[in-house]
Structure formats: structure tokens, C-alpha cells
Amino acid sequence: MADSTQSSIEIAASPGEVLDVVADFEQYPTWAKQVTSCTVVSEDGDGWADRVRFVLDAGAIKDRYVLEYDWDIDEDGVGSVSWSLVESDVLKAMNGTYTLAPSATGTLVTYDLAVDVKIPMIGMLKRKAEKMIVDTALKELKKRVESF
């Protein structure tokens, strides 16, 4: 799982406003189209979600998985939110990071994602699926944040 997919998007909001949407897991089903359920399983001492359970329905791909989060965020929302797979029905591994940086128009969000599935899959198809996941997630995040 050495390769990952990376993409970025500009969002017309402060890093703190973007972070508020990223950290509000219970609301994911309202804007992340393929997430049908999202529940915080545990939080760390600062109130950040530590483990989150997701239910995904992406047509042919359905999965239930738990991610563990690491929050390296400044008070103004600048920094990174990383996650790794704890358990899944379909995935063998999933590591991702949102990096939030101030920009001239608001926030530059960079999304890195590496996924490995339990079933054999050609590397090219896996990268294409990662690219679709990353691009869709960034567009949906932008739409959600800028709708406020």
C-alpha cells in the first residue's frame, strides 16, 4: 500500500470553518452521499473523535468500517486530520489525511488517501477508485462548507 492518491481544493472559508465540518461526523450522511451512517465510537480527552464507525453504500460497494483519528490541529484550524483503518468488512487498509492550510481565498484542503482491499484488484483500478473517492469527497466538502 505504498502508493497514495492526492488532490487539493480551495474552499472559500477559514480553516476553522472547514475543520468544523470535517469534525462533525454525525452530519456526514447529510452531505457525503455514499455515507449512510456515521457514529462517533470514542473521543479523546480534548473532545475530538478518536474512533468513528461508518456505513458506506456506494452502489456495488457496501461496507461497514471503523477509523481511528489523529488530530494535529492548531486553534485556528490549520493543520492535519489523519485516519487509519481499525476494522472493515471489505478493506484491508485505509490511511488518509486532510491537510488544512490558509490561502488567499480561504483554505486549501489537500486530501491524501491510500486504500487496500481484501479482494484482489489491479493497481490501476485501485488508483482510479481512490481518485474518484478523493475528488468526490473534496467537492462534497467544499459544497457543504460553502453552503453556510
Tens-digit pLDDT profile for residues 7-47: 999 999 999 999 999 999 999 999 998 999 999 999 988 88
Average pLDDT of the segment spanning 101-124: 85
How confident is the model at residue 41, as a pLDDT? 97
Q: What distances in angstroms separate CA 35 from CA 26, 105, 142, one per listed residue?
A: 10, 29, 16
**Start-to-end Cα distance in the chain:** 37
Judged against a pLDDT cut of 50, whether residue 104 lies above it is answered with yes
How confident is the model at residue 126, as a pLDDT? 59
Tens-digit pLDDT profile for residues 44-96: 888 899 999 999 997 777 899 999 999 999 999 999 999 999 999 988 999 99
How confident is the model at residue 117, as a pLDDT? 78
Q: What is the DSSP string of the chain?
A: ----EEEEEEESS-HHHHHHHHH-GGGHHHHSTTEEEEEEEEE-TTS-EEEEEEEEEETTEEEEEEEEEEEEE-TTS-EEEEEEEEEESSEEEEEEEEEEEEETTEEEEEEEEEEEESS---HHHHHHHHHHHHHHHHHHHHHHHHT-
Q: What are the grid coordinates assigned to 98, written together?
A: 486532510
CATH number among 1.20.1260.10, 3.30.530.20, 3.90.1170.50, 3.90.226.10, domain 5-146: 3.30.530.20
